[in-house]
């Protein structure tokens, strides 16, 4: 009996040790995040006035970068990934080399605490952690399949036939607040949610809440098709040459 009580106490202690320290998270948030996201997570900090896009409102959401379905809260690991890597093309910096692993988990848990609670037992996970995904080899055949899917699924309507973000529907694209939002120009390689195959895969499957980018979890149910589209879209990115460094992403003849 005594051994059982000791084992139970140790298990409880271990579980508690695994829980992020919200007090620590509050301190990190105050020092590193509140100036933009606001003291209560409403995206209304003093530094948010002139920023575009505006900092995320953690209270009302939505959260773009998730491994969960549209409309659901992200997992803790999702928020940790975003805080660690930052969001390219925005004012959200990467804190991975600034904060410790413990601080990253603590502040991410504190950010999640702003959002309305959900029953953790009912949270559906659409995408496994990046280290568990197994992308197939990037082959010409798979890219060709991806190109076909890009065309048949209408990706070019927003992102353009060559992925430059200049599709016929691009000018009408708005976010959940009714503000104009430009579809991503894939040729620049600046994928906001990350540019690795696993990152692009996650974006296709879960979509980006608050933007016109939908989830393809159901319409692109075949795993091979998902990866085909991932490899094709990533192939549209190109390394900038001297002209691009000086004058932007377009060459004179484009």
pLDDT tens per residue across span 150-204:
999 999 999 999 999 999 999 999 988 888 999 999 999 889 999 999 999 999 9
pLDDT, averaged across the chain: 87
What pLDDT, on the 0 to 100 scale, is given for residue 96? 96
Question: What is the arithmetic mean of pLDDT over 237-241?
Answer: 67
Residue carrying the six token digits 């605490």: 113
pLDDT over 90 at 140, yes or no = yes
pLDDT one-digit tens code per residue, 49-68? 999 888 999 999 899 999 99
Q: Quote the tokens at residue 247.
A: 């004058």
pLDDT one-digit tens code per residue, 65-88? 999 999 999 999 999 999 999 998
pLDDT over 80 at 121, yes or no = no
pLDDT over 50 at 38, yes or no = yes
pLDDT over 60 at 36, yes or no = yes
pTM for the structure as a whole: 0.84
How far is 162 from 203, CA to CA, in rounded Å? 19
Cβ atoms of 228 and 149 closer than 8 Å: yes
What pLDDT, on the 0 to 100 scale, is given for residue 117? 82
pLDDT over 50 at 6, yes or no = no
Q: Which DSSP category does 81 fall into? A: H
Residue carrying the six token digits 């100036």: 35
Question: What is the arithmetic mean of pLDDT over 112-125?
Answer: 81
Residues 6+ apart with CB under 8 A from 166: 160, 185
Identify the CATH class of 18-122.
mainly alpha
The domain segmentation of the chain, as residue ranges, is 18-122, 133-243
Give the highest mean pLDDT range of 51-60, 111-120, 140-149: 140-149
pLDDT over 60 at 16, yes or no = no
What pLDDT, on the 0 to 100 scale, is given for residue 12? 41
CATH T-level topology, domain 133-243: Cytochrome Bc1 Complex; Chain D, domain 2 (1.10.760)
Counting Cα atoms < 13 Å in the Cβ hemisphere of 63 gives 27
Same fold, 18-122 and 133-243: yes
At how many degrees (to 10) do helices 101-114 and 22-32 cross?
90
Cβ atoms of 209 and 181 closer than 8 Å: no
Cβ atoms of 94 and 85 closer than 8 Å: yes
pLDDT-derived band at 110, boundaries 50, 70, 90: very high
Alpha-carbon separation of residue 231 from 1, 65, 150, 227 (angstroms): 57, 20, 11, 6
């Amino acid at each position: 009996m005594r051994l059982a009580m000791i084992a139970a106490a140790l298990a409880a202690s271990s579980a508690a040790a695994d829980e992020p320290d919200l007090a620590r998270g509050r301190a990190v948030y105050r020092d590193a995040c509140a100036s933009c996201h606001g003291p209560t997570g409403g995206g209304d900090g003093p530094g948010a006035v002139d920023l575009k896009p505006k900092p995320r409102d953690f209270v009302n959401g939505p959260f773009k970068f998730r491994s969960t379905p549209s409309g659901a809260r992200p997992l803790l690991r999702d928020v940790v990934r975003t805080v660690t890597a930052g969001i390219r093309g925005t004012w959200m910096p990467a804190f991975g080399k600034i904060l410790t692993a413990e601080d990253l988990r603590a502040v991410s848990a504190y950010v999640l605490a702003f959002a309305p609670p959900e029953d953790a037992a009912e949270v559906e996970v659409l995408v496994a952690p990046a280290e568990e995904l197994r992308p197939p080899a990037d082959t010409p055949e798979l890219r060709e399949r991806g190109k076909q899917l890009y065309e048949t699924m209408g990706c070019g309507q927003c992102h353009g036939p060559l992925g430059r973000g200049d599709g016929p529907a691009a000018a009408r694209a708005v976010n959940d607040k009714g503000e104009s939002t430009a579809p991503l120009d894939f040729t620049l390689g600046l994928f906001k949610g990350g540019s690795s195959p696993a990152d692009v895969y996650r974006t296709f499957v879960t979509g980006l809440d608050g933007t016109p980018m939908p989830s393809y979890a159901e319409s692109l149910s075949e795993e091979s098709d998902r990866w085909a589209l991932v490899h094709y879209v990533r192939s549209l990115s190109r390394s900038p040459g001297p002209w691009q460094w000086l004058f932007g992403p377009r060459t004179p003849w484009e």
